[in-house]
Amino acid sequence: MINLYDIKDPKFLRDLSIKELKELAEEIRKFLIENVSKTGGHLSSNLGVVELTIAMHYVFQDPNDELLFDVGHQSYVHKILTGRAKDFKNLRGYGGMSGYIKRSESSYDIWESGHSSTSISAASGLNKSNPEKRQIVLIGDSSISNGVAFEGLNYLGQIKSNNSPIIILNDNKMGISKSVGALSKSLLRLRTTKFYRGFKGLLTKILPGFVVRFFHRLKRSMKGLIQRDNIFEDLGYDYYGPYYGHDIKALIRLFKRIKNNKGPVLIQLITTKGKGYKYAEEDKEGFHGVKPFDIETGLPLNNNDKKMSYSQALADFLVEKRKTNEFFVVTPAMKAGERLNKFSELYPESFIDCGIAEEHATLMCAGMALHNKRSILLMYSTFSQRSYDMFLNDIARQDLPVIVGIDRAGIVGFDGETHQGIYDVSMFLSMPNFYVLMPMDLKELIGLFNLAFEINHPVVIRYPKIDEDITKLDFNYKCELYWEYLTKGKSLCIIGYGPDIKRIAKIVDKNDLDVTVVNARSIRPMDLGILRSVFERFNKIIVFEQVVRNGGLYHNILEFKENNNFNSRVLTHSFTSNDIIPNGSLDDLYDKYGLTDEKIKEYIINNLDNN
């Protein structure tokens, strides 16, 4: 039995028999389930690529082979095989191992990929800059459907060199949610040609490599007899597949055979997301990214039924709102994350999952607005950045009334550097016409979305990845844009938005601090009446926001100060553009960045003393 903690690098794999490799695969599965059940993480994706990753490292050990993992959350097996099993005890924790590829962790980590679909283009650059090296790209979880991936495929299809990249398509029919779109249907046709798949599988197992290569060439010339054209061959790839992705022996033979191919190669492998753990196989969405759970039952640990996420509250509101209002809900492959399963079942004609295609989803909503159809576009803050140009030119410039829900705003914790939601405010405030709003609690979340339906301009409503105590939600409640005094004092004024400002008001009340706290729920437009009053009354103003300060509310308040010749000192409690927020629990990250209740209290008291 291989001790996973003794693994230093993948070279040992070639000393193992096929039987031992299969045992290793089962040991890795067991290890992943046990460890992720304690830390949380991306489980299903990694359980589906165990044999595949072992075979990749078994065959591609040449010093010139570079392994790239698109969507870093299918890289846990790679981390184990490159000597990092010991680091799983603090997976995604503060100071611990990243849940994604991280170049600083290992020389085997070639490409850092927190967002999907970037690996093929990255491989193009790596290949062009050093033609002696060959890139082996593992792309899956529906990332192939993204436009960036297609741009990379289109470019690489024309490269005919001895070391053209090899692309391995991990086809598990899933992203976070089930794959959608025409490409998914095209892949389905390839998967379901049972005679063709069985015939090829038999050839691979029983015939010598040169005979199989002959049949492969014969197939390419006569493919119309047994298989429809496929998009990959049309793009110029030597296409292999579909093959079963959990047979280590067959995978090793296949990879050895195509290793010396000239020109670009694409291999389609059929895998089962969540393989080896029944709860993950049965609930692929639920175990894509999972909190700590009980292995025996598959149920989350420390589940608090008395709390509700902002995503769930919004999803419940949209179900209720759709009873009396017509609108579309559009999301780029985030149906599960946005808790939209119920809405999609009740109103399938009003729900659109575009797959991993943020730019396309944004443009769709712009098109709907041109026909006076209201749409709600829901995506995570970190992914909204991919649609910057579409938000700017196609929604903001044309002043189209699209409502954009930005989830995971602010610090998100365990997902780490590539997923922190701290840039969207600066992004949207750089554009014309956008209203930018953020609620301080679930009640205001509902109120701002009701308000957004009455605004004939583009509206962004951002909300965090936290849970709150459940209260009875009034789905008819509506906020106003004006700011609100939460506390009133004479020594200092704090302006902010989101749950942080509500928490600050409680800290001020609890400690009887002589501080005025203002809920700036409308980041734009600013409440100029209250803002002017604040400058007239206070010598020191602190702007508190969980975003990068460049281009945020702080900078807009500074501009107001200069334009109106006020002398008050304006400070900010926020992030610099050089802050790269690591993975870790919210508690750890709040402590690091001065966001715990105790550190906020100390910060306020220090500024009172220095007033």
Catalytically active residues, by annotation: 273, 358, 386
Q: Quickly count: other Cβ atoms within 10 Å of residue 108's Cβ.
A: 19
Strand, coil or helix: what is 408? coil
Both structure tokens of 585: 């629990």
Spell 71-101 as b/e; 16+ CB within 10 A means b: bbbbbbbbbbbbbbbebbeebbbbebbbbbb
Contact call for residues 295 and 34 (beta carbons, < 8 A): yes
DSSP run (H or E) holding 501: helix 499-510
Contacts of 32 (CB under 8 A, 6+ apart): 43, 46, 47, 50, 76, 77
Q: What are phi and psi of 77, to 5 degrees?
A: -65, -40
Report the alpha-carbon distance of residue 290 to residue 282 in Å, rounded: 14
Of 563, 423, 570, nearest to 495 by C-alpha is 570
Q: Tell me how far the alpha carbon of residue 431 is from its chain's centroid.
A: 24
Of 478, 511, 482, 514, nearest to 497 by C-alpha is 482
Q: Enumerate the H helices of 118-247 as residue ranges.
A: 119-129, 147-156, 182-191, 194-206, 209-222, 231-234
Q: Quickly count: other Cβ atoms within 10 Å of residue 464's Cβ.
A: 25
Both structure tokens of 39: 């830390």
Q: Quickly count: other Cβ atoms within 10 Å of residue 296's Cβ.
A: 8
Is there a cis peptide before residue 208, judged by omega within 30 degrees of 0?
no
Q: Quickly count: other Cβ atoms within 10 Å of residue 551's Cβ.
A: 17
Report the alpha-carbon distance of residue 97 to residue 79 in Å, rounded: 10
Contact call for residues 418 and 114 (beta carbons, < 8 A): yes
